[in-house]
Structure 1
Amino acid sequence: MRNGREGLRSFKMEPTVTLETIIGIFALAAGTVWTPGPNNAMLASSGARFGLRATVPHVLGVALGFPVMCFVMALGLGQVFEAQPLIGEVLRWAGAGMLLWIAWKTLQAKPPGTEAGSAKPWSFVQASAFQWVNPKAWMMAVSMISQFVTGTEPLREAAILSGIYALVGLTSATGWAGFGAALQRFLSTRTRMLCFNAVMAGLIVLTVLALLFADLRPAG
């Protein structure tokens, strides 16, 4: 019996998600979601224009929408993405066009308190849906899945990856929106707001230029 138990123990699979892996995911997630990009530039702009409280739905849409996308991709959508390179190219150019339009609208934003009645912050659904056409979000998801998802325990790996991104993303989205909201009083003049808008729009344009040459295919 003893030899039999030892034999069974020897055939037990090692866990695919170790503490070192979790730390690595946390570190890479923090480095990717806190750095400037379309989501963060839009959150800062929204915070400056509408305030932090009004931007909360946008914050939650980004913080939860991207992890949901990671979860779905980790469960198999990434394989479809790899098998159909045309999807990546369509995403690349469609996303670039949308981001350039967003950059233009960001550049035109007016100082806090002077927005037209039709202007309002993004809703939770809008911010969540945007993740699916955001090339940077796809590139981040592909990179993380290629490095940390082995497919041995797909549901567990997908849940851990998306859970970590939800935690880190919530701090990042809140931080960038709060940064914009903290500048509301300073941005009360048209000249200052124009400069701020130009910086935020510029960050989006730089992201577009980088992503046009990025490889959106999962690493083989």
Structure 2
Amino acid sequence: MTLDIFTALVAFAFVTVITPGPNNFMLMASGANFGFRRSVPHMMGIGLGFPSMVVLVGVGVMQVFDLWTPSYTILKVLSVAYLLYLAWKIAHAAPPKEAEDAPEGKPLSFVQSAAFQWVNPKAWSMALSAITLYAASRDLAAVLWVAGVYVAVSVISTTSWTVLGQQMRRLLNNRVRLRVFNWTMAVLLVATLVPVLWPAST
């Protein structure tokens, strides 16, 4: 991989991970509701889970889906259902102090966050685009370069969005403001489904 291509890859990866999307909206909500420390497993699940997805996509996992075309529809249904479920959880999150004791008041775990990448529409779009543009040959070395860059830039992205949410806790110190914030995050999360359900609108 030449320096020019590598530089373009870094820029592409950074822009795609830092811009708003399901992962970042959930990280901001997690930072606001649970704080930075409790959100670390969620952050790591994204930071390592998505690059792992990139590797699997790069080495040909999409061919498995091509062999059975209904799998795309099933994946879309699962994506929509799980995102709606996560939006509901965010909208009904308890205040930070109560969330610590509530069984449902927990941030996503590492495994949950990593697994979410497989039903995250933006993650699929990012992985397919990155492989198509920067590892078109599907050479393992090129695929690993793409995945490695995403590991690096994800540290910046996940930290930034979680810290942003954590800092907002100062403004969300009463139930009304916190509820408005959580419902706003839930609506924005649902809004990310628009390109999936109505592709022609993008």
Asked if these proteins are the same fold (TM beyond 0.5), I'd say yes
Q: Distance in 2 between matches of 1:146 and 1:33?
A: 17
3-state SS of paired residue (1:114)? helix
How big is the shift at 1:40?
0.8
Higher helix share: 2
Aligned to 1:77: 61
Residues 1:187 and 2:175 aligned together: no
Return the match for 1:151 from 137, 151, 168. Answer: 137
After TM superposition, the structure 1 stretch with the greater mean CA deviation from structure 2, 58-67 or 86-95, is 86-95
| SS of aligned partner of 2:96 | coil
Q: Does 1:32 align with 2:16?
A: yes
Taking a change above 3 Å as real, the CA distance of residues 52 and 163 of structure 1, as seen in their structure-2 partners, is same
Q: Is the 1:112–1:187 Cα contact (8 Å) retained in structure 2?
A: no
1:167-218 CA-partner distances (Å, limit 9, x unpaired): 1112101111111111112111111111211221122111011222349xxx
Map 1:140-219 to 2 at 5 A: 140-151=126-137, 154-214=139-199
Per-residue CA deviations over 1:142-161 (Å, capped at 9, x if unaligned) read 11111121226x11011100
Deviation at 1:122, TM superposition (A): 1.4
Offset at residue 88 of structure 1 (A): 2.0
State TM-score, norm by structure 1.
0.84
8 Å CA contact 1:112–1:188 kept in 2: the answer is no
In structure 1, stretches of 5+ residues that fail to align are 1-16, 216-220
8 Å CA contact retained: 1:111, 1:187: no
Alpha-carbon separation, structure 1, partners of 2:182 and 2:21: 14
80-89 or 124-133, larger mean C-alpha shift: 80-89
Deviation at 1:83? 4.8
The one of 107, 118, 132 equivalent to 2:118 is 132
Instruction: Tell me how far apart the structure 2 counterparts of residues 87 and 170 of structure 1 sit (CA, whole Å).
Output: 32
Gaps of 5+ in 2: none
List, as ranges, runs of 4+ consecutive aligned residues in structure 1 with deviation greater than 6 Å: none
CA RMSD after TM alignment: 1.6
Q: How many residues align?
A: 198
Q: What SS does structure 1 have at the residue aligned with 2:162?
A: helix
Q: Give the superposition deviation at 1:82.
A: 4.3
2:27 alignment partner in structure 1: 43
Please show how residues 98-113 of structure 1 align to structure 2 within 5 Å.
98-113=82-97
Alignment CA distance shift 1:54-1:69 (3 Å): same
Alpha-carbon distance in structure 2 between the residues aligned to 1:148 and 1:80: 21
Residue 90 of structure 1 aligns with which residue?
A: 74
Q: Pick the structure with greater CA Rg.
A: 1
TM-score, structure 2 normalization: 0.91
Cα deviation, residue 42, structure 1: 0.9
